């Protein structure tokens, strides 16, 4: 057997840390201790009395913690005169799981000031001046149930380690928790240590729906008092959200599974109070039944603009007939870039995709997806799970497994009867107790690894032995401001077929990576557009290879190649088999050359400093003015024009709403030796195809030499 990949050995995913920190460990179930006889209060000495006999035993009052959501407030101990004007509001979630209790909480900053502001060094008490709030001062109203707080004010996650388990005759109990500080810029968490509070039942203030109200002094691990904590019950649910469903007139709304289970009941399984709003039922189709990625993106931005994510956890589902780029649907992934125009709160689904006409698809074979009620509904719940930060999970046939895997696991002809209408145990726990930024829309981007223990998440990925991942730059050097194009090849060096991802496209969700500059700074790249449930695996024969290509420009931390110099690029591929994660990594080096003149420098600066340039590169369309302007800056510069010609050609060669595709302009852009990856060359051939008089077609794309594997058929990239 040949070993043509001998110089590219199979390696595990390297342990180069991401700029983002690990998700804090979720709270563990706290079991009830072995029950001891409850101590009875000491009885008073009673004298004998004539009839009627006195009552010898006073009534016993047992207390317990009510399950559900508590409105919480933490007021730190003032360390300076204005310290009393800062406190934290949030929620505590208490779940009873058999004989165990699981609890967690989140805190948001609430700051206000007196006016006029006294000097910090002011001796004595504060003056009795009227207090005028600067910024939001409104306290959450407990009568309105579970509160929602502004995302920018999020500060702490509380992982409860000690709590009242069952019943007590006392009026208090010890609450223990770890406190994690959240860093908004790096999405990292810092464990600030263990804290305890002796929580006592007290009378609930006006407005609380229950008498379950407690207060206590909080102490750090040294026993020093650091503040005061209060918590009052407000809802039997743990979290609340709204799901809006918009659709074109011809598409069905995925409201239930046809068996009595609807969206609200699904979320009730994990303690969420969800309101489903079937909003617009006649969304206008911009240019026919099939929607381009750019048209979907523009429509979802319009829907997102109508919601205030600081006042409501709102997720969107947009149902259309067909999609240009994929079969079932797409989600726009905020981890793919740093633009504010990448929603993580919703996705689009195609109702007129037709299931394969095979026995695997059982009773819904060869059926339009919107009419296949059970899998159509299940797919929407699956994609909403991604919007909550959940990933594919193949441990059971639950919501976060993929439809094709579930169909293939059924007895032939029986699908969808084998669908499990619930979340896997660990996914249900994450829905209940993951930090707010993980599950609410508009905060932590999708794709950050979670782990149940404080070790590197890559340690949980097993090396895929027998396979090798080769990464080759299309050009070994590129000018400053140009995208870097990579060809990726996954080769089976073993003597037997091995399961591999169906595609190495960034859209498939199996590929991500890092870029490391000369100083050691790490920047990550992920896909922007993710195809719904694209988790299919194929068998790769011995000595065969799976190929793909990608175009890199920006990531979550900004420009991936922001300056001249050498950069190491690490591409990671991972996939799951029976609940176990396997993966490989390949590396290469790319040199970015300095600007050649001031015009080149100005164009590069505009491209590198415009987050929406990546969205225009990946999606096209006319709706992102800054992104379009940045790409055009590259087109007008002679140094960068060959690198951006295909980007602009794809944009103008694709219809957008009322604008028709301008194929003549696309061909003009591609007429002068553009730089093309394999997948881009395939798209360029489609754009330059012109009809002959005899009905056949010919190509006008000129020959160019920068393609690495022109004779191979590549997998499609996100671009």
Say how far apart CA 300 and CA 296 lie, in whole Å.
6
Inter-CA distances, 621 with 50, 266, 285, 414, 640, Å: 95, 36, 15, 42, 21
Q: What is the value of pTM for the model shown?
A: 0.76
Confidence category of residue 556, pLDDT binned at 50, 70, 90 = confident
CATH 2.60.40.3880 boundaries in the chain: 457-699
Structure tokens that stand for 130 in this block: 């009227």
pLDDT at 552 (0 to 100):
95
Residue 223 has pLDDT above 80, yes or no: yes
Q: Is the peptide bond before 52 cis (omega within 30 degrees of 0)?
A: yes
In the chain, count of helices (H) and strands (E)?
Answer: 12, 32
Identify the weakest region by mean pLDDT among 126-130, 241-245, 542-546, 565-569: 126-130
- Helix (H) or strand (E) holding 649, with range, is helix 641-652
For the chain, percent of residues with pLDDT exceeding 90:
55
CATH number of 457-699: 2.60.40.3880
More confident residue, 497 or 57: 497
What is the percentage of the chain residues whose pLDDT exceeds 70? 79
223: three-class secondary structure by DSSP? coil
Measured CA to CA, the distance from residue 574 to residue 586 in angstroms comes to: 12
Residue 6: predicted pLDDT: 44
CB 17 within 8 A of CB 187: no
Determine phi and psi for 650, rounding to 5 degrees.
-65, -40
pLDDT over 60 at 713, yes or no: no
pLDDT for res 346: 77
The mean pLDDT value for 676-688 works out to 88
- For residues 277 and 247, is the Cβ–Cβ distance under 8 A? no
387, pLDDT greater than 70: yes
Q: Where in the chain is the domain with CATH 2.40.128.120?
A: 68-122+129-235
Each residue of 297-356: pLDDT tens digit?
888 888 776 678 889 999 999 999 999 888 888 887 666 666 767 767 778 899 999 999
State which fold the 68-122+129-235 domain adopts: Lipocalin (2.40.128)
Q: Which residue has better confidence, 42 or 209?
A: 209
Q: What is the pLDDT of residue 687?
A: 83
Q: Is 207 exposed, middle or buried (0-12, 13-18, 19+ CB in 10 A)?
A: middle
Both tokens assigned to 295: 């048209």
State the span(s) of the chain assigned CATH 3.40.390.
239-439
**Distance between CA atoms of residues 528 and 718, nearest Å:** 8
* pLDDT surpassing 50 at residue 131: no
Instruction: Provide the pLDDT confidence category of residue 31 given band limits of 50, 70 and 90.
Output: low
Q: What is the pLDDT of residue 581?
A: 75
Mean pLDDT of 579-596: 90
How confident is the model at residue 392, as a pLDDT?
83
Which pLDDT tens digit goes with each residue over 630-659? 999 999 999 999 999 999 999 999 999 889
Q: DSSP letter string over 299-313?
A: HHHHHHHT--TTT--
**Block residue for tokens 């804090």:** 24
- Evaluate if residue 413 carries a pLDDT over 80: yes
Q: Which residue has the higher pLDDT, 699 or 587?
A: 587
The strand pairing partners of 106, in sequence order, are 91, 157
CA gap 630, 610 in Å, rounded: 7
pLDDT of residue 455: 28
Among 75-84, 594-603, 709-718, name the most confident range: 594-603
Stronger pLDDT, 140 or 389, i.e. the higher one: 140
Closest CA to 556 of 274, 713, 386, 340: 340
- The CATH number of the domain covering residues in 239-439: 3.40.390
pLDDT of res. 705: 38
Looking at residues 161-183, what average pLDDT do you find?
Answer: 91
Q: Is the pLDDT of residue 719 over 50?
A: no
Q: Which pLDDT score, from 0 to 100, does residue 507 have?
A: 79
Contacts of 673 (CB under 8 A, 6+ apart): 642, 702, 704
User: Chain-wide mean pLDDT for the chain?
Assistant: 83
pLDDT for residue 712 is more than 70:
no
Any idea which residue has 């750019």 for tokens? 294
Which pair of tokens denotes residue 452? 């149940």
Q: What is the pLDDT of residues 137-152, one digit of tens each?
A: 578 999 999 999 999 8
d(CA 210, CA 143): 10
Could you tell me the two tokens for 618?
């990946």
């Amino acid at each position: 057997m040949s070993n043509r990949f001998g110089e590219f050995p199979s390696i595990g995913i390297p342990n180069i840390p991401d700029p983002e920190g690990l998700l804090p460990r979720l709270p563990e179930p706290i079991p009830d201790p072995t029950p001891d006889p409850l101590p009875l209060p000491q009885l008073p000495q009673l004298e004998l009395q004539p009839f009627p006999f006195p009552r010898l035993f006073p009534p016993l009052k047992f207390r317990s913690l009510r399950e559900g959501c508590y409105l919480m407030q933490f007021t730190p101990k003032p360390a300076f005169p204005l310290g009393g004007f800062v406190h934290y509001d949030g929620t505590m979630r208490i779940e009873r799981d058999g004989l165990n209790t699981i609890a967690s909480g989140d805190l948001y900053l609430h700051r206000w000031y007196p006016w006029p502001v006294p000097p910090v060094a002011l001796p004595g008490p504060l003056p009795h001046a009227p207090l005028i709030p600067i910024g939001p001062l409104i306290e959450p109203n407990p009568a309105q149930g579970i509160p929602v707080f502004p995302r920018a004010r999020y500060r702490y996650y509380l992982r409860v380690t000690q709590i009242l388990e069952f019943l007590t005759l006392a009026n208090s109990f010890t609450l223990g928790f770890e406190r994690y500080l959240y860093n908004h810029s790096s999405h990292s968490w810092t464990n600030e240590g263990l804290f305890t509070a002796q929580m006592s039942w007290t009378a609930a203030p006006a407005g609380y729906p229950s008498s379950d109200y407690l207060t206590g002094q909080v102490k750090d691990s040294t026993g020093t008092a650091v503040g005061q904590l209060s918590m009052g019950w407000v809802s039997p649910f743990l979290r609340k959200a709204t799901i809006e469903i918009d659709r074109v007139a011809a598409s069905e709304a995925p409201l239930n599974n046809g068996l009595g289970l609807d969206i609200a009941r699904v979320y009730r399984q994990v303690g969420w109070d969800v309101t489903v709003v079937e909003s617009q039922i006649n969304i206008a189709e911009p240019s026919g039944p099939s929607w381009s990625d750019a048209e979907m993106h523009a429509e979802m931005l319009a829907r997102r603009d109508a919601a205030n994510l600081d006042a409501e956890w709102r997720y969107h589902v947009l149902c259309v007939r067909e999609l240009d780029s994929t079969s079932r649907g797409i989600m726009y992934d905020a981890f793919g870039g740093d633009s504010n125009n990448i929603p993580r709160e919703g996705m689009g689904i195609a109702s007129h995709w037709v299931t394969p006409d095979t026995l695997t698809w059982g009773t819904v074979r060869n059926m339009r997806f919107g009419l296949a009620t059970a899998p159509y509904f299940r797919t929407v719940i699956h994609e909403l799970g991604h919007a909550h930060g959940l990933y594919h999970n193949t441990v059971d046939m639950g919501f976060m497994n993929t439809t094709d895997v579930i169909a293939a696991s059924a007895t032939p002809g029986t699908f969808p009867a084998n669908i499990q209408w619930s979340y896997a145990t660990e996914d249900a726990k994450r829905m209940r107790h993951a930090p707010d930024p993980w599950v609410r829309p508009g905060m932590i981007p999708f794709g950050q690894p979670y782990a149940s223990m404080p070790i590197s998440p890559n340690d949980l990925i097993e090396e895929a032995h027998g396979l090798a991942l080769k990464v080759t730059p299309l050009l070994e050097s590129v000018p400053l401001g140009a995208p870097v194009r990579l060809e990726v090849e996954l080769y089976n060096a073993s003597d037997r077929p091995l399961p591999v991802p169906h595609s190495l496209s960034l859209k498939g969700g199996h590929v991500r990576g890092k870029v490391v500059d000369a100083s050691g700074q790490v920047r990550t790249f992920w896909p922007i557009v993710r195809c719904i449930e694209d988790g299919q695996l194929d068998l790769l024969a011995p000595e065969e290879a799976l190929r793909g290509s990608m175009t890199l420009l920006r990531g979550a931390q900004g420009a991936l190649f922001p300056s001249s110099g050498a950069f190491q690029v690490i591409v990671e591929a991972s996939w799951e088999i029976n609940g176990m994660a396997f993966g490989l990594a390949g590396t290469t080096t790319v040199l970015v050359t300095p600007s050649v003149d001031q015009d080149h420098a100005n164009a590069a600066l505009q491209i590198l400093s415009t987050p929406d340039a990546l969205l225009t590169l990946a999606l096209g369309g006319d709706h992102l003015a800054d992104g379009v302007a940045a790409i055009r800056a590259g087109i007008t510069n002679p140094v960068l024009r060959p690198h951006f010609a295909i980007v602009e050609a794809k944009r103008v060669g694709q219809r957008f709403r009322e604008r028709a595709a301008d194929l003549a302009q696309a061909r003009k852009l591609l007429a002068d030796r553009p730089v093309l990856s394999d997948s881009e060359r395939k798209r360029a051939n489609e754009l330059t195809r012109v009809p002959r008089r005899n009905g056949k077609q010919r190509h006008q794309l000129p020959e160019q030499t920068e393609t690495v594997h022109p004779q191979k058929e590549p997998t499609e990239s996100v671009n």
